[in-house]
Amino acid sequence: MRIGIMHQLRRYASLYGALCRISLVQEMMFKVNFSLWILVETLWFALQLAFMGVLYEHTDQIAGWTKWEVIALSGASQFLMQLVSITVMTNLTNLSELIRTGKLDFFLLLPVNTRFLISTRKFEAGNVFNALLGLAVLGYALSRLGVTPSVLQMAGFALLCAAGLVIHYSLMFLLAIIAFWTVRAQGIVWGYYNLFNIARLPDGAIPRGVFKAVFTFVLPMLLVSNVPVKLLTDRLHSPGEGVVLLLLALVCLAVSEWVWRRAMRQYTSASS
């Protein structure tokens, strides 16, 4: 059984590599558009950092977070946001069209997991630079803080970011699946994506109440972005938040798979 699992992992890794290469070739066919997209995203991130700089001209701390801690948070949030864009964003917004036009039938006939294929068939190479830029800003902010994360902390950061990616993917996938009942759901998925700006805020800056509870546990923007940075900057005083993040990733993935299976049972081709 173990050999079979490893074979499947290698098979899907090879398939994903092929999809990435095809996407890169397609992107390079429109080099100007590729370059402009990188430029626009870079300028938007620069404006976010400039805003933080202006804000800290008038105060030393926000909810106990210093300027460079918040910039580290912005860098980590940028990294995670761009990871979502690179891997699944375009694919999930296109699910509505696959359902509406009946093109989903083609994916159902292929000898691979349908969910995997519709979630990964497009790789947004243009966002790779901006993801690396987020990591560079995070690294620079940590150096200004005089913080040198240990190997264990960096491994934990990678694990928590992976959990955050799973959470965002699962929730966006759930929103995209609504298209099985409403035909179109692109706007809902984009609406979720636009909420990523909340992730740049320190969780301590949000007063306790319904808003904070929703964006910590229901749409966990604050939890996903804050916990990895807290780990790197020694602000994570107990493993509780990290454990919650990992458990939430498993729950979100399981729920999205359950809803997906229910949606597929009632799917009728639009082309038939």
Q: How confident is the model at residue 238 (pLDDT cuts 50, 70, 90)?
A: confident
Residue 59, SS3?
A: coil
Q: What pLDDT, in 10s, does the model give residues 156-213?
A: 999 999 999 999 999 999 999 998 888 777 788 888 888 888 888 888 888 888 888 8
For residues 36 and 81, give the distance between their C-alpha atoms in angstroms, rounded to a whole number. Answer: 19
The DSSP call for residue 85 is: I
Q: What share of the chain is helix, strand, coil (3-state, %, to 5)?
A: 80, 0, 20
Whether 1 has a pLDDT exceeding 60, the answer reads no
The answer to whether 68 and 145 are in contact (CB under 8 A) is yes
Q: What pLDDT, in 10s, does the model give residues 40-95?
A: 888 988 988 888 888 888 888 887 888 999 999 999 999 999 999 999 999 999 99
CA separation, residue 125 to residues 129, 148, 158 (Å)? 8, 30, 20
Percentage with pLDDT > 90 across the chain: 41
Among 76, 65, 253, 266, which Cα is nearest to 168's?
Answer: 253
